[in-house]
Structure 1
């Protein structure tokens, strides 16, 4: 199972020079270092459909975008996909065009509710605000041992001050409310938070800090 696929290669992102038309093998080398090939991935779970979370969903092959992980089912939130598909219909979005729609067209996508249960150990939990259909991925049988947060939280500072929202959030007020509710739920519960944008080490646990929370990093 792979959660979020980063930026990808050969993707035209002229507004983001660092990500534009990358030809970097770092991400694939990281997959190989974990002992995996693209054929080994059974599920690709996209917490949301932003540019830096869907890029390796597809790769360029003979001028066409094809699924990078040929054996995988790609799990898209139904509400998330509907929102971005409607936006794309109004104003074409290259991210949707090259990293999302080819998965739909290849028949590899599953559109699910944001509280979908994949199996006894893996389930989604809705965490809207950063995007309308954003979800986090909970791991653990019977209780939540770890959560992959996606972009619910971008910085340890947002643990201390949950009401700090990102400019990129679709709904900043909802993002703040979702974040506080999530942090309250997992504070001092022993849950391992696996974040997407924190500096390394990016995994850790929460403790109380005044009216906010402290993120205590761990090597996992």
Structure 2
């Protein structure tokens, strides 16, 4: 597992906490409409062995959270898949037992230290550590935290007919217990921005009301993109949707928005699933973009 590495964004310190590395995801599965030559004959120069197999048939993904420490506050952006969650329809995340909390501690943070949990969207691998099992009940992992997430997204996925198979079960064990505990702050990002220094951007597509989150501190800017992109090849191919993008046209628009936002504002880009560092800078290259890992 990767060593702890922190980044400075103005007065904020940002640290990755890794839950899982998924080293062999078939590229044809993740990107159903991909051009096979892009990961073989025409591979972008920033796609190394940590990203993609030599033959381009498999890609690697990471599942992780971001700790942000600023102004005496500790925030956590997204919470991974969680331990002990019953996911029979999604074997990759079924009944996991990972040392996620130990890795959090190795970064100097205990669950009680978290003041705010910011959630980009309500999918299986972004809400799992919202809760832990206490006896026969799922209770908030972070007892002193407020959990901030989209009210429209919550209302949409509260209808089980809208929940896609990979995320089946998350409401019962990872979302509703937060609401029932009174620790949820449900927002409409079109007119609510409740966290100083952070802006929630509506980037619909991967999910119903997916939120990307920017942080501004001391003249520096970061973008926590959520699942607008899954893999660095999408910097070169922003029209490639993942198999998990629920609203295809919106997903493409949001991906282009995120790349333009990052390039226009010289923002450090913190991804949710890129392997390697997961952090980089987006620069323009003619009509497209380059990815420079950090």
Same fold (TM over 0.5): yes
Alpha-carbon contact 1:65-1:102 (below 8 Å) kept: yes
SS of 1:111's equivalent? strand
2:111 match: 38
SS of 1:120's equivalent? coil
1:153 match: 229
2:137 match: 64
Which fold has the larger relative contact order, with Cα–Cα distance below 8 Å and residues 6 or more apart in sequence? 2
2:150 match: 77
How far apart, in 1, do the equivalents of 2:289 and 2:242 lie? 18
How far apart, in 1, do the equivalents of 2:237 and 2:98 lie? 35
Whose strand fraction is larger, Structure 1's or Structure 2's?
Answer: 2
For residue 9 of structure 1, the aligned residue among 58, 64, 83 is 83
Unaligned stretches of 5+ residues in structure 2: 1-74
Q: 2:140 aligned with 1:140, yes or no?
A: no
How far apart, in 1, do the equivalents of 2:96 and 2:134 lie? 15
For residue 98 of structure 1, the aligned residue among 173, 177, 184 is 173
How many residue pairs match? The answer is: 217
Question: What displacement does 1:208 show?
Answer: 1.3
How far apart, in 2, do the equivalents of 1:102 and 1:110 lie? 13
2:160 match: 87
Alpha-carbon contact 1:150-1:196 (below 8 Å) kept: yes
What is the TM-score of this pair, normalised by structure 1?
Answer: 0.92
How far apart, in 2, do the equivalents of 1:178 and 1:18 lie? 27
How far apart, in 1, do the equivalents of 2:212 and 2:189 lie? 8
Measured against aligned partners, the alpha-carbon deviations of 1:10-31 in whole angstroms (never above 9, x if no partner) come to 1001122232111222x11111
Structure 1 window deviating more from structure 2 (138-147 vs 45-54): it is 138-147
